């Protein structure tokens, strides 16, 4: 799912191509893409784009008369910019938006259609789509701590809760927690002031660093390689690979369609966190440390 750094770079690329240009027409091919019809999509036809902004993980395009198109790309949705419309036979193209400067089209990989387009009128309409989380790059330490302590959850859950923090998801929360050297399952109520300060700094550093990296990769073009798994990442998607800080193998916790990646030595004091599925299966045989896990691997037949 595109998160804050990815969305920032999308927004910057769209501003360059859309501001001052009119939307001539749009073709919606995905039957579940358009989630609201007040105002109708046709209301922005012929109107010039005046603003493009990030709203959490959403991309909001503002037109004359304070009308907005608001996209949420979810996991597999992506935006593309072309001089002309793509072939209408392409199955993954959900919508095309023809501007007088080019064509924006929205694709979504896979069979599940989760990406959405909402129409909104005015700032009140935009606020209705806002989950309410603070902006992590704008929040001072006091505001950050207040949001973090407002509910008692694990750090992973709190960082990815859009009601608490805007724009952070599964990938960058892994990277933030690794940089802060904090466990993803540490409870927010038990953090020390020093740990919160470390997490605040790590959040800013990680997000700003990745915004700059993605800008450099786009090279003033339109961002086409938007993915949650990047070679330069420290832990996210790096299960079994060495931690860039200590060299230990990255571990993971899997749940539903997501997983959390972390370093046992850098983040959990050597404790191997229980994977829900495997720990239920193994019960008392679940290894408690990285050393015990590696030992059991060597003792398996054929290992």
- The residue ranges of every structural domain in the chain are 4-127, 152-303
Residue 210 has pLDDT above 80, yes or no: yes
249 pLDDT band, cuts 50/70/90, is very high
Q: In terms of pLDDT, which residue wins out, 104 or 83?
A: 104
- % of residues, the chain, pLDDT over 90: 79
Q: What is the mean pLDDT of the chain?
A: 90
Q: Are the C-beta atoms of residues 52 and 19 closer than 8 Å to each other?
A: yes
Half-sphere exposure of 270 (CA within 13 A, CB side): 3
Q: Detail the DSSP E strand segments found in 113-248.
A: 116-121
292 pLDDT band, cuts 50/70/90, is low
- Non-local (6+) Cβ contacts of 16 within 8 A are none
Q: Quick one: the chain helix, strand, coil %, rounded to 5?
A: 35, 25, 40
Mean per-residue pLDDT, 172-187: 97
| pLDDT of res. 256 | 65
Tell which residue, 160, 255, 250, 260, has the closest CA to residue 203. 160
Give per-residue pLDDT as tens, 1-13: 899 999 999 999 9
Residue 61 DSSP SS3: strand
Mean per-residue pLDDT, 246-262: 89
**Distance between CA 32 and CA 108 in Å, rounded?**
12
Return contacts of 159-163, CB within 8 angstroms, 24+ apart: 159/203, 161/133, 162/56, 162/57, 162/131, 162/132, 162/133, 163/131, 163/132, 163/133
Least confident segment among 113-122, 244-253, 280-289: 280-289
Q: In terms of pLDDT, which residue wins out, 303 or 82?
A: 82
> Cα–Cα distances in Å, from 78 out to 192, 233, 234, 283, 285?
39, 21, 24, 41, 43
Q: In terms of pLDDT, which residue wins out, 51 or 298?
A: 51
Distance of alpha carbon 292 from the chain centroid: 34
Mean per-residue pLDDT, 112-124: 94
**Distance between CA 32 and CA 113 in Å, rounded?**
7
Residue 130 has pLDDT above 90, yes or no: yes
- % of residues, the chain, pLDDT over 70: 88
Least confident segment among 38-47, 220-229, 263-272: 220-229
Residue 152 has pLDDT above 80, yes or no: yes
Mean per-residue pLDDT, 121-142: 96
pTM of this structure: 0.89
111 pLDDT band, cuts 50/70/90, is confident
DSSP state of 151: S
| pLDDT of res. 282 | 39
92 pLDDT band, cuts 50/70/90, is confident
| pLDDT of res. 163 | 96
| pLDDT of res. 254 | 87
284 pLDDT band, cuts 50/70/90, is very low
| pLDDT of res. 88 | 59
Fold of 4-127: N-terminal domain of MutM-like DNA repair proteins (3.20.190)
Residue 279 has pLDDT above 80, yes or no: no
Q: Does domain 152-303 have CATH number 1.10.8.50?
A: yes
220 pLDDT band, cuts 50/70/90, is confident
Tell which residue, 124, 97, 138, has the closest CA to residue 14. 97
């Amino acid at each position: 799912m595109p998160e804050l750094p990815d969305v920032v770079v999308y927004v910057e690329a769209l501003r360059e191509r859309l501001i001052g240009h009119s939307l001539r027409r749009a073709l919606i091919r995905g039957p579940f893409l358009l989630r609201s019809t007040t105002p109708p999509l046709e209301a922005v036809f012929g109107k010039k784009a005046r603003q493009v902004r990030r709203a959490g993980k959403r991309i909001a395009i503002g037109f004359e008369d304070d009308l907005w198109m608001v996209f949420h790309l979810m996991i597999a949705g992506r935006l593309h910019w072309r001089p002309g419309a793509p072939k209408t036979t392409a199955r993954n193209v959900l919508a095309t938006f023809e501007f007088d400067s080019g064509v924006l089209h929205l694709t979504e990989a896979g069979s599940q259609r989760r990406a959405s387009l909402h129409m909104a009128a005015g700032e009140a309409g935009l606020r209705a789509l806002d989950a309410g989380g603070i902006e992590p790059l704008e929040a001072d330490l006091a505001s950050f701590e207040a949001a973090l302590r407002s509910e008692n959850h694990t750090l992973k859950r709190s960082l990815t809760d859009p009601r608490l923090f805007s724009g952070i998801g599964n990938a960058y929360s892994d990277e933030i927690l690794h940089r802060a050297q904090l466990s993803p399952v540490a409870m927010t109520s038990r953090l020390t002031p020093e740990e919160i300060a470390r997490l605040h700094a790590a959040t800013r550093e990680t997000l700003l660093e990745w915004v700059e990296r993605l800008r450099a990769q786009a090279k003033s073009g339109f961002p086409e390689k938007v993915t949650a798994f990047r070679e330069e990442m420290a832990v996210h998607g790096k299960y079994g690979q060495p931690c860039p800080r200590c060299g230990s193998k990255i571990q993971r916790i899997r749940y539903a369609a997501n997983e959390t990646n972390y370093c046992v030595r850098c983040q959990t004091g050597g404790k191997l966190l229980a994977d829900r599925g495997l720990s239920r299966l193994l019960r008392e045989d679940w290894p408690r440390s990285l050393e015990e896990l590696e030992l059991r691997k060597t003792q398996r037949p054929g290992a």
